[in-house]
Amino acid sequence: MTAANYFRKIAYGCEQLGMMPGDLTKMDTEQAKFFIHDLISHFGKGAKGSSIESYVKSMKSWMTWNDTETPKSIRVYGASDYN
């Protein structure tokens, strides 16, 4: 079930930023960092931090699976809020 949820989030996140999931596999670390920051900015307008963090985790997982170097630490504001 996790794989299906991750893929759904990857596809939706890429669609929102005008990309295809395969484009993520061609990025270097710098491009991946900017892409993830763009994703956070895009969803930060109305989504909870924990929801945004799940998109970031999905993207990083996909990049790692496809041997793309990912940025090590990216913080999402409000991701650990329990409200």
Query: Residue 62: what pLDDT?
Result: 86
- Chain position carrying tokens 């990912």: 70
Q: Which pair of structure tokens corresponds to residue 24?
A: 């993520």
Q: Which residues of 34-59 are buried (b: 16+ CB within 10 A; e: fewer)?
A: ebbeebbeebeeebebeebbbbbebb
Whether 79 has a pLDDT exceeding 60, the answer reads no
Query: Residue 1: what pLDDT?
Result: 59
50-57: average pLDDT:
81
pLDDT tens digits, residue range 27-47? Answer: 888 888 888 888 888 887 777
Query: Residue 75: what pLDDT?
Result: 66
19 burial class (0-12, 13-18, 19+ CB within 10 angstroms)? middle
